[in-house]
């Protein structure tokens, strides 16, 4: 698995840069790493860079992926429906549009972007106000 998960202190966004195929094996390895940062930082903003990746799943698997992701996050006590995910892709990357549709239809906050700046701005606009 080639990916790196970090926390950007400035933007308060958890960032994951993926350099391998997107399949359920990745989901099973990436979810716990992201959850560590969610639990440590209390951030609900997730930026995922999939520009160097491709979806390696059948249509049925893509359709079931939002449920699979929810299950993997739930293993660490994280409700995926509470997180906001911005996905950075290249134009024409196959199957990400369908993944976005089925994810949103499963009550998850998930949006595709073609440039990093727009993705970060969208996430920042969704940040919960601090109590106090």
**In a domain? residue 131:** no
Beta carbons within 8 Å of 62's beta carbon, 6+ residues apart: 55, 95, 98, 99, 102
- Say what the pTM is: 0.93
**In a domain? residue 45:** yes
Span 6-35, pLDDT tens digits? 999 999 999 999 999 999 999 999 999 999
Beta carbons within 8 Å of 111's beta carbon, 6+ residues apart: 85, 86, 87, 100, 119, 122
Inform me whether the pLDDT recorded for 103 exceeds 80. Answer: yes
**In a domain? residue 130:** no
**In a domain? residue 105:** yes
**In a domain? residue 132:** no
| Cβ(87)–Cβ(111) below 8 Å | yes
**In a domain? residue 11:** yes
Inform me whether the pLDDT recorded for 100 exceeds 90. Answer: yes
Can you give the residue range of the structural domain that contains 89? 3-125
Span 29-54, pLDDT tens digits? 999 999 999 999 999 999 999 999 99
pLDDT band at 131, cuts 50/70/90? low
Span 56-96, pLDDT tens digits? 999 999 999 999 999 999 999 999 999 999 999 999 888 99
**CATH number for 39:** 3.30.750.24
Total domains present in the chain? 1
């Amino acid at each position: 698995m080639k990916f790196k998960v970090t926390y950007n202190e400035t933007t308060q966004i958890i960032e994951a840069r993926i350099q391998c195929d997107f399949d359920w094996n990745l989901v099973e390895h990436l979810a716990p790493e992201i959850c560590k940062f969610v639990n440590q930082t209390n951030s609900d903003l997730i930026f995922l860079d999939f520009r160097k990746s491709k979806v390696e799943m059948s249509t049925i698997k893509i359709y079931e992926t939002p449920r699979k992701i929810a299950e993997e996050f739930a293993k660490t006590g994280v409700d995926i429906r509470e997180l906001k995910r911005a996905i950075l892709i290249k134009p024409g990357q196959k199957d990400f549009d369908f993944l976005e549709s089925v994810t949103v239809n499963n009550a998850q906050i998930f949006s595709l972007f073609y440039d990093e700046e727009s993705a970060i701005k969208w996430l920042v606009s969704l940040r919960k106000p601090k109590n106090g």
